[in-house]
Amino acid sequence: MNIEAAVAAQQPLVQRLLDGVAEIGRDPPGITRDAYGRGENQAQALIAGAGRALGLTASTDAGANLSLRWEGSDPSAKPILIGSHLDSVVQGGNFDGAAGVIAGIGAVAALQAAGLRPRAAIEVLALRCEEAVWFGLGLIGSRCMLARLPEGALDLPHARGGKTLAESIAACGGDPAPLRAGTPLRDPAAIGAYLELHIEQAPQLVEAGAPVAVCLANPGNLRHPFIRITGADAHTGLPHRFRRDAALAGADLALELERMWLEEEATGRPMAVTIGRFHTPAGHHSLTMVSGSFELSLDLRAYEAAHLAALEARLAEIVARVAARRGVTIELGARSAAAPGPMDPAITAGLAAAAVRCGLDAPRLNSPGSHDANNFAASGVPTGMLLVRNHNGSHNPDEAMETADLMAAIRVLAEWIAAEG
């Protein structure tokens, strides 16, 4: 059986797994698979069962990441890792992350059906807690694996139930001790490559009319999940010159950040600003009160480390300016960061060539999202990504990846492994 026919034969398996993780996460109107909780655990169990049915060896590491390993023909060859995540945001969509894990299973099944055994071992990874919603820090599974957890991360509380990250990891069979010691769970130098498949998060492929793209780079990000602005509560009739209005300071800050974004993009420096939380305190705000308190979150992202550093410097200037103008204090609070993820040129070229062999015109595009691939690339692992067409963005119940498009991406992945693995 050739690779094209072997991949096509895996569509029932792929669809069954997509439907299975959807059922596990069902939370109308969307999908919720909580990290280090029932949703992620049950999804891991489903994927592990599919891997074992293919003869893959299942194991978990100290971060409770799942690995499904298919031994290659050459024990000395460095393994090829194919990974993504199974957790979701709250009431998000079914495909963000999960499609990439399932693609790894589909590619291995297709290669087996075609009678092809790669020289290098293939490992399908289900990495824990990629979404920052659960601990205010994202990419946790790959951070654990590569010793990239920031100081204090293991003491962060889970958004549901309040267990610390360390307690959550231990409850899922992991071991926080080597993570506290900063010990890599995998030696990056001993990994041959890391491949990730992910739905697109802006409709670039919808626009291009193509099912698959070869990713060039993922942005890094700088995040402040709990920015606090403090002014003074006051009567609504207070004249403007006496006010220390935290809500208007928040509005000023948001508008200045957008102005910065537009200025940067006008000079050809792509980036993004996202304010996910933006509110006066619900337990205290009132129609008849000038609010002396305001909270927001901030995500800045860009494709180069130097650009991110420059944006952070501009953020500090904007904060100081708004605070002085409004007579408030602005505390940025906890900070987390993820390094940009440039893809390996040789892998990018190899994936593009595999797409051509599949008869696909695969554009080369930047991804607007940060992914676990960022941590592998930043650790020196040769890294590549494929993006799959998706009509309605991600992190919402309307994610609309077609299974046929996922199968096209799996074929490109299988072709690449057959040629390079």
Looking up residue 261, the CATH number of its domain turns out to be 3.30.70.360
CA distances from 196 to 184, 376, 383, 385, 386 (A): 20, 10, 8, 5, 7
Contact status, residue 190 vs residue 155, Cβ threshold 8 Å: no
CA–CA gap between residue 2 and residue 115 (Å, rounded): 9
Looking at 306, 338, 370, which one is the last position of a domain? 338
Q: Which residue has the tokens 């991360």?
A: 153
| 360: Cβ contacts below 8 Å, ≥ 6 apart | 210, 211, 212, 408, 412
Give the pLDDT band of residue 161 (cuts 50, 70, 90): confident
279 appears as a binding residue in the annotation = no
Whether residue 159 sits in one domain with residue 18: yes
Whether residue 161 sits in one domain with residue 72: yes
pLDDT tens digits, one per residue of 268-277:
999 999 999 9
284 appears as a binding residue in the annotation = no
What DSSP character marks residue 147? T
Whether residue 76 sits in one domain with residue 137: yes
pLDDT tens digits, one per residue of 108-149:
999 999 999 999 999 999 999 999 999 989 999 999 999 999
Number of Cβ atoms within 10 Å of the Cβ of 181: 8
Domain count along the chain: 2
CA–CA gap between residue 411 and residue 59 (Å, rounded): 26
Q: What percent of the chain is helix, strand and coil (3-state, nearest 5)? A: 40, 20, 40
What integer is the mean pLDDT of 207-233? 96
What integer is the mean pLDDT of 180-205? 96
240 appears as a binding residue in the annotation = no
Whether residue 377 sits in one domain with residue 274: no
Q: What are the tokens at 177?
A: 């001790």
Whether residue 348 sits in one domain with residue 384: yes
* Mean confidence (pLDDT) of the chain: 96
pLDDT tens digits, one per residue of 33-57:
999 999 999 999 999 999 999 999 9
pLDDT at 421: 81
Range of the domain at 372: 3-219+340-420
List, in sequence order, every beta strand (DSSP E) within 231-348. 234-235, 271-274, 278-279, 289-290, 293-302, 329-331, 336-338, 341-342
Whether residue 156 sits in one domain with residue 261: no
Closest CA to 405 of 2, 145, 18: 18
Whether residue 187 sits in one domain with residue 237: no
Model confidence, pTM: 0.89
Whether pLDDT at 85 is above 90: yes
pLDDT at 293: 98
Q: Report the length, in residues, of the chain.
A: 421
Whether residue 115 sits in one domain with residue 215: yes
85 appears as a binding residue in the annotation = yes
Looking at 338, 368, 401, which one is the last position of a domain? 338
Q: Please state, for a pLDDT cut of 90, what percent of the chain lies above it.
A: 95
Nearest-10 Cα torsion for 406, 410, 413, 418? -170
β-pair type (234-235, 122-127): unpaired
pLDDT at 405: 98
Whether pLDDT at 245 is above 90: yes
Residue 329 region, left (φ>0) first, then alpha (ψ -120 to 50), else beta?
beta
Whether residue 401 sits in one domain with residue 271: no
β-pair type (80-85, 57-60): unpaired
Whether residue 103 sits in one domain with residue 92: yes
Give the pLDDT band of residue 1 (cuts 50, 70, 90): confident
pLDDT tens digits, one per residue of 333-390:
999 888 899 999 999 999 999 999 999 999 999 999 889 999 999 999 999 999 999 9
What integer is the mean pLDDT of 212-228? 95
| CATH code for position 60 | 3.40.630.10
One DSSP character per residue, 304-320 reads: SHHHHHHHHHHHHHHHH
pLDDT at 227: 98
Whether residue 18 sits in one domain with residue 109: yes
Q: Output 334 or 405, whichever has higher pLDDT.
A: 405
Give residue 2's identity as a one-letter amino acid code.
Answer: N
